[in-house]
């Protein structure tokens, strides 16, 4: 079971201050549970783990099996932001680090992602790959109108139709989008694509446990039932009106530290498989809290790698940082360090030790050093990296995010600031209806 440990913050806060923030977090939890807060029409994510019907997973498995029957060995998953990061995080965390390089028969197709950037080189190189492979695609967009995935999907759709014909393309493309509205919904209906629905009451960054995450994760060959089980246990645990509710503890402490000038929170992991947990978490917290001139800035690092790049700043730079370490208690593989009779590197004191023991001591040593350097440390630990624990992490961070944003006094479920760049981009690209903005921008740029 996921645990929160706040011992690494004790020298930075007084217990009475912390208890005051726990009271605030419990009040925010009430608002979330009673659905009386800002954005309360976007709370559909709260009961996804316990209410997702098994038939949804079975439908995803049917697509997986039908594509397997066609020999599909590459699935292009198209989406951005909340329609991308959850699936990317889960698949990176659960896959063999060298899956692509390993020889031997693969049970599941390779999953690649597109539509999360506007790089021409990335698209051209994706098309190079598609030319060599047996391809299917999943296009994901809640609004159905987001530019990046729409551009990528045009190219992928065209490729699949030219290669396999329109009828077969409809068998090889699945859309995940709104039930009724948006260009993607209209396109999917017109082309006869199988479609999964993202409910209106679930925002993009809270959608990993909807078909947005479920379909790609099932296609990649992972156990979605176990992920939902881990999330369901967290759903129950984090609903408790208790001072030891882990989401309450985490939300209370990070907000208390924010009030003490710790404006940046770094999510830390010691396993490269969790790099994208940091990316997913950054979107969740950045878009939910960063508004009205407020919010903890979310950053992420992968240690020990980044101790050799960001370590200096964290240890001695501006003291505005707090760290949240995602600790994984057990490695699922075993490798011990060999003896070297020459001992030229002087490391024979490590002989026979597991590599993970070195990692654990690096983690503990770093914790002590960073606390000494003025960086409080929150810890979220899970037993191992698997579907069950990832499900627990996803739900835990979502629930804590809702509580946290209500403590801060912002609406966790909107993202008005995301529109600003889009308006400028559309004006610069000549989208009809943006003529006035285009004129103003060109005048501004010519000064
Ligand atoms: O959290 C959000 O709502 C956004 O970041 C979206 O996930 C992102 O913009 C993608 O939107 P859509 O799924 O509508 O294409």
What's the pLDDT score for residue 419? 86
Q: Which residues of 335-355 are buried (b: 16+ CB within 10 A; e: fewer)?
A: eebeeeeeeeeeeeebeeeee
Residues 262 and 360 in one domain: yes
pLDDT band at 270 (very low <50, low <70, confident <90, very high): very high
Domain that holds residue 297: 3-37+228-408
Mutate to test the pocket of ligand 1, among 78, 82, 284 (most ligand atoms within 8 A of CB): 82
Does 207 lie in the same domain as 298? no
Atom number, ligand 1, closest to the C-alpha of residue 198: 13
Among 146, 177, 206, the mutation site with the greatest number of ligand 1 atoms within 8 A of its Cβ is 146
Q: Is 86 in the pocket of ligand 1 (CB under 6 A)?
A: no
Domain boundary residue, one of 202, 222, 242: 222
Same domain assignment for residues 213 and 358:
no
List the CATH number of the domain containing 316.
3.40.50.10490
Cβ of 399 less than 6 Å from ligand 1: no
Q: Is the CB of 204 under 6 A from ligand 1?
A: yes
Say if 206 falls within a structural domain: yes
Q: Is 271 in the pocket of ligand 1 (CB under 6 A)?
A: no
Check whether residue 191 and residue 207 sit in a common domain: yes
- d(CA 175, CA 120) in angstroms, rounded, equals 23
Note the pLDDT tens digit of each residue in 186-235: 999 999 999 999 999 999 999 999 999 999 999 999 999 999 999 999 99
- In this structure, the answer to whether residues 148 and 202 fall within a common structural domain is yes
Q: Which residue has the tokens 């404006």?
A: 263
Q: How far does the centroid of ligand 1 lie from the alpha carbon of residue 30, in Å?
A: 27
Tell me: do 286 and 392 sit in the same domain. Answer: yes
Q: Is 141 in the pocket of ligand 1 (CB under 6 A)?
A: yes
**Which protein residue has the closest C-alpha to ligand 1 atom 5?**
81
168 and 86 belong to one structural domain: yes
Rg of the chain, C-alpha, whole Å: 23
Quick one: pLDDT at residue 191?
A: 96
The percent of residues above 70 in pLDDT, for the chain, comes to 100
Distance of CA 122 to the CA centre of its chain: 21
Show which residues are catalytic: 287, 422
Distance of CA 106 from the midpoint of ligand 1 (Å): 32
Q: Mark 157-169 as b/e (b = at least 16 C-beta within 10 Å).
A: bebbbeebeeeeb
Q: At what angle do helices 246-259 and 387-408 cross, to 10 degrees?
A: 50
Determine, yes or no, domain membership for 102.
Answer: yes
Please, are residues 363 and 270 in contact by the beta-carbon 8 Å criterion? yes
Task: Report yes or no on 414 lying in a domain.
Answer: no
Beta carbons within 8 Å of 10's beta carbon, 6+ residues apart: none
Q: Is the distance from CB of 209 to CB of 56 less than 8 angstroms?
A: no
Instruction: Please give the Cα distance from 411 to 291 (Å, whole number).
Output: 8
How far apart are alpha carbons 324 and 72 in whole angstroms? 40
Residue nearest to atom 15 of ligand 1 (CA): 141
State how many domains the chain has: 2
- What is the separation, in whole angstroms, between the first and last Cα of the chain? 59
Greater pLDDT, 1 or 111: 111
- The model's pLDDT over 135-181, given as tens digits with 9 standing for 90+, comes to 999 999 998 889 999 999 999 999 999 999 999 999 999 999 999 98
Helix (H/G/I), strand (E/B), else coil: 325: strand
Shared domain for 67 and 133, answered yes or no, is yes
Q: For 6-22, what is the mean pLDDT?
A: 98
Last residue of a domain, one of 222, 246, 280: 222
Domain identity same for 125 and 179: yes
Which position has the token pair 């009779």?
341
Answer whether residue 9 shows pLDDT above 90: yes
Q: What angle do CA 102, 107, 111 make, to 5 degrees?
A: 75
Q: Mutation test of ligand 1: which of 39, 42, 78, 83 has the most ligand atoms closer than 8 Å to its C-beta?
A: 83
Task: Tell me: do 318 and 357 sit in the same domain.
Answer: yes
Residue 440 lies in a domain: no
**Length of the chain as a residue count:** 447
**How buried is 442 (Cβ within 10 angstroms: 0-12 exposed, 13-18 middle, 19+ buried)?**
exposed
299 - beta bridge partners?
266
Domain stop point among 207, 222, 237: 222
Task: Report whether pLDDT(107) > 90.
Answer: no
Higher pLDDT, 1 or 335: 335
Distance 184 CA to ligand 1 centre (A): 14
Residue 103 has pLDDT above 90, yes or no: no
- Flag whether 446 is in a domain: no
Strand partners, 139: 78, 175
**Dihedral sign of CA atoms 104, 106, 109, 115 in order:** negative
* pLDDT confidence tier of residue 322, bands split at 50, 70 and 90: very high
H or E stretch covering 189: helix 183-191
Inside any domain, residue 432: no
Is it the case that residue 246 has pLDDT exceeding 80?
A: yes
Q: How many angstroms separate the alpha carbon of residue 206 from the centre of ligand 1? A: 10
Q: How far does residue 250's CA lie from ligand 1's centre (Å)?
A: 26
Q: Which of 134, 163, 142, 146 is nearest to 76 (CA)?
A: 134
Which DSSP category does 294 fall into? B
Asked if residue 304 has pLDDT above 90, the reply is: yes
Q: What percent of the chain has pLDDT over 90?
A: 94
Nearest alpha carbon, ligand 1 atom 3: 204
d(CA 92, CA 400): 23
Of 90-99, 288-297, 326-335, 419-428, give the lowest mean pLDDT range.
419-428
CA–CA distance, 274 with 393 (Å, rounded to integer): 11
Residue written as tokens 């009451």?
Answer: 201
Tell me, using a 6 A CB cutoff, whether residue 116 lines ligand 1. Answer: no
Average pLDDT, the chain: 96
CA dihedral 311, 315, 319, 323 (to 10 degrees): 60
Alpha-carbon distance of 33 to 40, in angstroms, equals 10
> Could you tell me if residue 157 is left (phi over 0), alpha (psi between -120 and 50 degrees) or otherwise beta?
alpha
pLDDT tens profile 346-404 = 999 999 999 999 999 999 999 999 999 999 999 999 999 999 999 999 999 999 999 99
Nearest ligand 1 atom to the CA of 79 is: 15
State whether the beta carbon of 149 lies less than 6 angstroms from ligand 1.
Answer: yes
How many CB atoms are closer than 10 A to CB 19? 12
Residue 144: predicted pLDDT? 86
Q: Verify whether ligand 1 is closer than 6 Å to residue 205 (CB atom).
A: yes
**Statement to judge: residues 208 and 260 lie in one domain:** no
The answer to the question of residue 368 being in a domain is: yes
33 and 69 in a single domain? The answer is no
DSSP helix/strand/coil, 176: strand
Ligand 1 site, residue 24, Cβ cutoff 6 A: no
Task: Report the C-alpha gap between 208 and 280 in whole angstroms.
Answer: 10
Q: Answer whether residue 142 is part of any domain.
A: yes
- Distance, CA of 22 to CA of 20 (rounded, Å): 5
């Amino acid at each position: 079971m996921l645990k929160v440990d706040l011992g690494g913050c004790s020298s930075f806060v007084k217990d009475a201050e912390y208890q005051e923030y726990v009271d605030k977090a419990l009040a925010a939890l009430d608002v979330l549970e009673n659905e009386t807060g800002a954005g309360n029409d976007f709370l559909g994510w709260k009961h996804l783990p316990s209410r997702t019907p098994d038939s949804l997973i079975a439908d995803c498995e049917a697509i997986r099996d039908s594509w397997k029957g066609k020999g599909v060995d590459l699935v292009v998953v198209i989406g951005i932001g909340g329609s991308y990061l959850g699936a990317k995080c889960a698949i990176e965390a659960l896959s063999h680090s060298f899956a692509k390089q390993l020889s031997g028969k693969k049970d599941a197709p390779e999953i690649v992602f597109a539509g999360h950037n506007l790089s021409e080189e990335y698209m051209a190189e994706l098309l190079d790959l598609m030319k060599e492979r047996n391809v299917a695609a999943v296009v994901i967009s809640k609004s159905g109108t987001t530019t990046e995935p729409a551009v990528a999907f045009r190219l992928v759709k065209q490729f699949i139709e030219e290669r396999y014909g329109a009828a077969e393309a409809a068998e090889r493309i699945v859309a995940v989008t709104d039930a009724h509205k948006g260009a993607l919904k209209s396109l999917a209906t017109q082309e006869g694509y199988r479609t999964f629905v993202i409910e209106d009451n679930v925002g993009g960054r809270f959608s990993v446990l909807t078909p947005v995450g479920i379909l790609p994760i099932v296609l990649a060959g992972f156990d979605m039932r176990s992920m939902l089980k881990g999330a369901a246990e967290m759903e129950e645990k984090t609903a408790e009106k208790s001072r030891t509710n882990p989401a309450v503890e985490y939300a209370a402490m990070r907000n208390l530290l924010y009030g003490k000038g710790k404006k940046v929170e770094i999510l830390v992991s010691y396993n490269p498989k969790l790099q994208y947990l940091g990316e997913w978490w950054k979107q969740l917290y950045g878009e939910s809290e960063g508004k009205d001139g407020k919010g903890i800035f979310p950053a992420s690092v992968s240690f020990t790698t980044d101790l050799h790049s960001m370590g200096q700043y964290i240890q001695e730079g501006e003291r505005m940082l707090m760290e949240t370490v995602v600790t994984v208690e057990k490695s699922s593989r075993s490798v011990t360090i060999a003896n070297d009779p020459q001992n030229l590197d002087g490391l024979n004191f490590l002989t026979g030790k597991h590599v993970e023991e070195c990692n654990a001591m690096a983690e503990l040593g770093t914790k002590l050093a960073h606390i000494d350097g003025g960086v409080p440390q929150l810890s979220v630990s899970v037993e191992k990296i698997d579907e069950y624990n990832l499900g627990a992490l996803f739900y835990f961070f979502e629930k804590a995010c809702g509580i946290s944003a209500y403590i801060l006094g912002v609406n966790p479920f909107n993202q008005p600031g995301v529109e600003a760049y889009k308006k400028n981009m559309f004006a610069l690209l000549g989208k009809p209806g943006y003529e006035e903005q285009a004129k103003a921008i060109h005048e501004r740029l010519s000064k």
